[in-house]
Structures are given as C-alpha cells and as structure tokens.
Structure 1
Amino acid sequence: MNTRPRKRKKATSAAPPNPDIAPSEDPTSVTIDVPAVEVPELTEQEQSDRLLLERKVERAFFEAGKALAELRDRRLYRSTHRTFEEYCRDRFGHSRRQSYLLMDAAVIFDNLEQKCDRNDHILPTNEWQVRPLAKLEPDLQPEAWQQAVESAKGKVPSHRIVKDAVQKIMERTQVPNTYQIGEVCQILTKDNPDLRGKGGCWAIVTAVNNFSCTVRTWDRELTVGLKHLKSFNYLPDECQQVQEICDRISQVYSSGLEESVQRFLESLGKLRRAYLTGLEEKVLGLLEAEIIP
C-alpha cells in the first residue's frame, strides 16, 4: 500500500543573543556612545604655513605667466626655436593663445594683488577666473573682482560671477558711440590681447555699433570697443586719402611678397598723417608695379 511522503519541516536557526543588548531592549533603539575627538587649534606657525601654501596655490598660474613673459622678452628660446610660439608648443604643449592668456592673466593678477584690500586674501586661483577682467581698464579690475568675491559670499568667484560683475561695470561706464562711417581712428590696445600687434595702427570705420565699431586696417576687418579707438579728427578729404592708401597697401600686402616688404607696409599702416612722403610714395609705387602685370 502506497503511503504519501511526509513533508519535512524547515529548519530555523535562532540568532545568537547579543550580550550587549538586554533581552527586553529594542535593537533599533540602542544608543552607542562615540568618544569625542578633540581637534586641536592651529598654532600660530601652522596658520602662517597654511596661508603661505594657499598663496602658492593661488599664484601657480601667475608664476607660470610671469615665467613665460620673461622667456619671451629675453628670447631664451632662441638657441632651439625660431619663434616663441614654436618653443611653447614643443616645450609645454601650449597653443599660442594659451601662452598669451597666461601672460595676460599674470598682469591682471599682479594688478589685483597690488590694489585689492590686503586684509582680504581672496585672489584668483586660475586664468579662467580672471579672463573677463581683461575687458576692463586696470583701474576698474580690482572693483570688479571685489564685487565678484562679495557675490560669491567671500569665496573665490567662478568665471560666470566675475563675468557678471564685469558686465555691470561695463554697462555703467559705457559712453554713446559718436563715430561715423569713413572716420579714421587709431587703435589703442589697452591690455586687450585680441588687439595684440595692432597698437597705434590707423583704422577706417566701416560700421557703427552701440558700443563698438567695425574697422578696416591694411590687412583685415575687425570689431573694436570704443575705449580702444581714438579719432584722428581728419577732415573729409584726409579720410578719403587714407582710404585710398589703405586700398593700395592692402592689395600689395595680400600678394604674399617677402617678409621685409610686409614689415614696410605694416609701418605705413601706423602713420599718424593722412599722406605719404615722396619716398614712401615711390617705394609703394614700385611694389605695385611688381605685382600688377
């Protein structure tokens, strides 16, 4: 006779009692005492060391920019490289823009360190934070930085916060654009890296914007803020003469002649008069004859 198999009972194991918990206590309500660890205050020497190390971190990009500027100014790259840009690319992996941004940032950092409140040691820690300040005059840069620090509640402000502070100051200090199309101006760099190499050049206004002008030089067209322009106050006939000279220089410059010729043409682009001397006219005429069949 077949009999049905009996079901086995599942084995259950009781957890071993915890000697630290009384049987009547709820384990979820147990209080564990953690001994307090006393954190000693910094000594006066440690506070001094901390500030010194913080300053080194802050100044890292500043020191890099200063070093690059000295390498460039003393031409310490000349034994291995033809140009400073090639040297920075091979030695540091920098693009031309990256090297010049660091050098420009070092100038701004130095300005902030000298003019900001010495009791407030909040200074930039990287080039990206100070880049917006390049749009301001050196005298306004500390004001913008202090406003950015306040907006960041006493901490190092981000690029965005600095940019907002700069924008507010620019809106406050903007003046109406009174330039006219065809007017001849002089370009003033004023610590603007985008205008490097154009300082002192004349430029012909081709478009008038709210707070800038589009201008034409002998080799290109670019947009320049009002603070980077200064009118020569030429008469209409003189402005016309400069435009004609600009057309002639541009035609020869774009023909790709020797570098020495281009340097001569660039010097004509920095004249502070609306005419060419007899010798300048003769040399330019010879160059035109060389490129025009």
Structure 2
Amino acid sequence: MNQPPKRRKTTSAASSNLEPPKNPALVTIDINAVEVPELTEQEQRDRLHLERKVERAFFEAGKALAELRDRKLYRSTHRTFEEYCRDRFGHSRQQSNYLIAAAGVYENLTTIGCQNVVDEDLTTIGCQILPTSERQVRPLVPLKLEEQRSCWQEAVQAAGGKVPSGRIVKDVVQRIMERTKAPNPYQIGEVCHIIAKDNPDLKGKGGCWCIVTHVGEFSCTVEAWDGEYTVRIDHLKALNYLETECQQMRQICDRIRRLRENENLEEAARAVLKYLGELKRSHLTAVEEKLLSLIEAEYGQVN
C-alpha cells in the first residue's frame, strides 16, 4: 500500500537570514525634512494686524461698554446697566467696570507711544509693549495718569521686555506706593466730598458727600447715596464737620440706604435720593425733610 508522500518543511530565504534583534536605543530612523515656507510680506502684515486685534480685544470691549452705559442704550429692555450686563453678557456690573477702567488705562498708555512695533532700535522698552488683557492693567486703575505710564514701563522692564503679568504689575505698583507712602488722614464716620478725577467708577459722583466706613493704608471705603465705593485718599476732601453735624449726615445716610434696598423704588424717588446725596451742607431743609419722610412713608420705612 502506497503511503502518502511526506511534506517537505519550507523555509524562506528571509527567515534563514534573520539577524539578531538590534538594541532599540541604537536604531537610526531617517525622517524626511519638510520645508516650511516663510511668510510672505502680505502674510506678515495680516499676522501683525490680527495679533493687534487680539491684544486690543479687552480695550474694544471696555470702550463699547462705556458707550452703552453713557448713552443708556440698554433702556429699551432693561431698567439698569447692571441688569443689562448680567442678562446680555453674563457678567456683573463690577466686571463691566473693570473692562471700562482698563480701556481708559490702555488709552492713556498709547498717548506716550507704548505701541507694539517691530523696530528693534527703540531704546525705551516700555514703549514697545501694550497690555493684552484687563488683569494686566487692573492694578494701574487707581493711579494717576503719569503714574500709570511709569509703572507700566517699569513692569515691562521687570518682565524682560515682554508683556508683564498682572502679578508683576501689581508688585511694581506696590513698590512705588511704598516709596511715596503718606499717612491716611481720614477717620471712620467722617463726612467727605468725593472728587471723581480720573476714576471711571466715580463718574457722576463728583461733589457728592459720603461717610467714611473703613480706613485703609492708601484708600478709604465710603458710603455714598447709591452704594459703597473704595477710593484713593486723593479722591476725598474732608468737610471738617463738627461731630454733631457728622452724626446728622450719618442718620441721613442710613435713611437713604434703607430706601435704596427696596427693589420697588420708583425713578422719581431715586431722583430725590440722588439730589439729597449731592447736598453741600450737613442738614435738610424743611421741604427736603418732608420729601424724604414722604418716600419713607410710601415704602413703609417710617422712623
């Protein structure tokens, strides 16, 4: 009986010539270099234009918010700017104020030529760089215009000629304030006039009276007719009232504050409170007292 032929085991030439595995660390991999084309002159101009738009984004936002607020362009849909900002942009009035104030600082810095330029021959480092975010200039807001410029240039130098972070700017501001430190002359309970100057948060408050509620190293927290504000000491002017006069003003301030807390307060009532908050004396006339008492009675806040 014929037996089936035996199968012959095949081996490939490749398998017969296998080399021992190499050390992976010694393996050389050839990679073809891909040449990246240089930007054309037009592309370089486009890049610079777009970069400047990104850097100015917070400035444009602050300028737009200031115009919306000043022209009351929110009035057809919202009663207050604060409500409008919350509903339309999803942030608080304070955030809007930060952007508005930052735009003012940015605009101030551009008046001395602090612009991003390519010219490497400029000798003043601070004038080559502009802020790119609101947080970088927030520490500069309370300063005078000249101080803003000098602090920014010093911060740019501290950052090695680059855009400084908000922390670096804050550190520079604190060092400069320490060098020019002056004692705070105000006391809690003192009555002062507000001097608005260049502080956007105090717009419309110039000449209003206020009560000092907290005394800091370089600033005071004060209560005005429409809320509390933290202001530099050079934004206040002492009225030098007697203690009895200060007490009278504190009582008026408390009465106005309680009325302001009423959400149903009508515009006419608010107008009266604003008028009383801008008085240049420490007492109410008979008519003013009647008006204030009438509003208190209307809203159930009779003393």
TM-score, with normalisation over the residues of structure 2?
0.71
Is the counterpart of residue 149 in structure 1 residue 156 in structure 2?
A: yes
Indicate if the aligned counterparts of 2:106 and 2:131 stay in contact, CA closer than 8 A.
Answer: yes
SS state of the match for residue 51, structure 2? helix
Moved more, 59-68 or 48-57: 48-57
Aligned to 2:146, what secondary structure does the other structure show?
Answer: coil
What is the alpha-carbon distance in structure 1 between the residues aligned to residue 130 and residue 265 of structure 2?
47
Distance in 2 (CA, whole Å) between partners of 1:173 and 1:14 is 84
* Counterpart secondary structure, 1:54: helix
Q: Contact (CA 8 Å) 2:97, 2:201: kept in 1 or not? A: no
Q: 1:14 to 1:187 in 2, by over 3 A?
A: farther
* RMSD value, Cα: 3.7
Q: What is the DSSP-based 3-state SS (H/G/I as helix, E as strand, rest coil) of the residue aligned with 1:115?
A: coil
Matches of 2:112 and 2:77 in 1, distance apart?
39
Question: For the structure 1 residues 253 and 209, does the alpha-carbon distance in structure 2 shift closer, same or farther, using more than 3 Å as the test?
Answer: closer
Q: Secondary structure of the residue that 2:145 maps to in structure 1? A: coil
> Is the alpha carbon distance of 1:86 and 1:227 closer, same or farther for their aligned partners in structure 2, counting shifts above 3 Å?
same
2:118 corresponds to 1:110? no
Could you list the runs of 5+ residues in structure 2 that have no partner in the other structure? 1-14, 118-126
**Contact (CA 8 Å) 2:196, 2:206: kept in 1 or not?**
yes
**Contact persistence 2:248–2:283 (CA under 8 A):** no
Counterpart residue number, 2:55:
58
AA paired with 1:104?
A: A
Paired residue total = 270
Whether the 8 Å contact between 1:62 and 1:109 is mirrored in structure 2 is yes
One of 264, 267, 275 as aligned partner of 1:267 = 275
**1:227 aligned to 207, 229, 234, which one?**
234
Q: Helix, strand or coil: the match of 2:128?
A: coil
Displacement of 1:150 after TM fit?
0.7
How far apart are 1:125 and its partner, in Å?
1.0
Greater shift in the superposed pair: 61-70 or 170-179: 170-179
Query: Residue 192 of structure 2 aligns to a residue in which SS?
Result: strand
Answer yes or no: is 1:133 the counterpart of 2:140: yes
Q: Secondary structure of the residue that 1:135 maps to in structure 2?
A: coil
Q: Secondary structure at the match of 1:90?
A: helix
Q: TM-score, normalised by structure 1?
A: 0.74
Letter in 2 for 1:261: A
- Structure 1 gaps of 5+ residues are 1-11, 18-26
Kindly, what percent of the aligned residue pairs are identical?
A: 57
Q: Give the partner amino acid of 1:241.
A: E
Q: Which residue in 2 is equivalent to 1:186?
A: 193
2:85: which partner in 1?
88
